[in-house]
């Protein structure tokens, strides 16, 4: 019974990340109404798996590390640029991702997410150059960070939990 609930948590978490990415791409916002349930689903997932993948302390530390590192980056980015360089929604999303992935997993997700954001930015800059015919300009490029971080969270979650999904699936079909 709890295995099915844990799979439902994973599925709902994936759907919420897709929804958050779409919203962020359109509005540059990550609404708390979607980030908070994503965080709660991470806690529920670990509860339903009896903290098999991560200890309770690792889950909480993951949330703190994900939130804390991105908050520090935001703080110094804001000081340097004199304006918001990273939204608080992105900070909260990585905090929620840490509840899913633990402290090591959220660091991997942050790294993968930053790389995904870099690729997204390069593709978008090239698109703007082709569309507008002007020079390639990265200085004024503004892209949302949430979709990249969502990609990082999804990739690390697949790496961490794929065996659970597969074993649960096979136990259900037998």
The predicted-structure confidence for 114-136, as pLDDT tens digits, reads as follows: 999 999 999 988 988 888 887 88
Number of folded domains in the chain? Answer: 1
* pLDDT bracket for residue 139 (50, 70, 90): confident
Residue closest to 148 by CA, chosen among 84, 99, 93: 93
Kindly calculate the radius of gyration of the chain based on its CA atoms and give it in whole angstroms: 17
Specify the pLDDT at position 172: 83
Specify the pLDDT at position 133: 82
List, as one string, the DSSP characters of 40-96: HHHHHHHHHTTTSSS-HHHHHHHHHHHHHHHHHHHHHHHHHHSS-SS-HHHHHHHHH
pLDDT tens digits for 66-81?
999 999 999 999 999 8
Whether the CA torsion 125, 127, 131, 135 is positive or negative: it is positive
Rounded-to-integer distance, Cα 48 and Cα 7, Å:
9
Instruction: Read off the DSSP letter of residue 49.
Output: T
Look up residue 156 and give its two tokens.
């690390």
| Domain assignment of residue 68, given as a range | 2-173
Specify the pLDDT at position 136: 81
Rounded-to-integer distance, Cα 155 and Cα 17, Å:
12
Q: Taking the CA of residue 45 as centre, how many other CA atoms within 13 Å lie in the half-sphere pointing to its CB? A: 29
Single pTM value for the model: 0.94
Specify the pLDDT at position 30: 98
């Amino acid at each position: 019974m709890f295995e099915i609930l844990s799979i439902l948590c994973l599925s709902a978490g994936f759907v919420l990340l897709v929804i958050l990415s779409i919203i962020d791409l359109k509005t540059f916002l990550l609404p708390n109404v979607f980030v908070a349930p994503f965080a709660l689903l991470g806690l529920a997932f670990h509860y339903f798996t009896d903290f098999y993948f991560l200890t309770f302390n690792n889950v909480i530390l993951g949330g703190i590390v994900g939130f804390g590192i991105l908050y520090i980056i935001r703080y110094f980015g804001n000081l340097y640029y004199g304006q918001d360089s990273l939204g608080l929604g992105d900070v909260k999303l990585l905090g929620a991702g840490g509840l899913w992935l633990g402290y090591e997993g959220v660091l991997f997700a942050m790294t993968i997410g930053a790389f995904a954001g870099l690729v997204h930015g390069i593709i978008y800059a090239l698109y703007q150059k082709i569309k507008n015919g002007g020079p390639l300009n990265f200085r004024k490029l503004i892209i949302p960070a949430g979709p990249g971080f969502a990609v990082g969270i999804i990739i690390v979650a697949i790496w961490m939990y794929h065996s659970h999904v597969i074993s649960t699936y096979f136990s259900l079909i037998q």
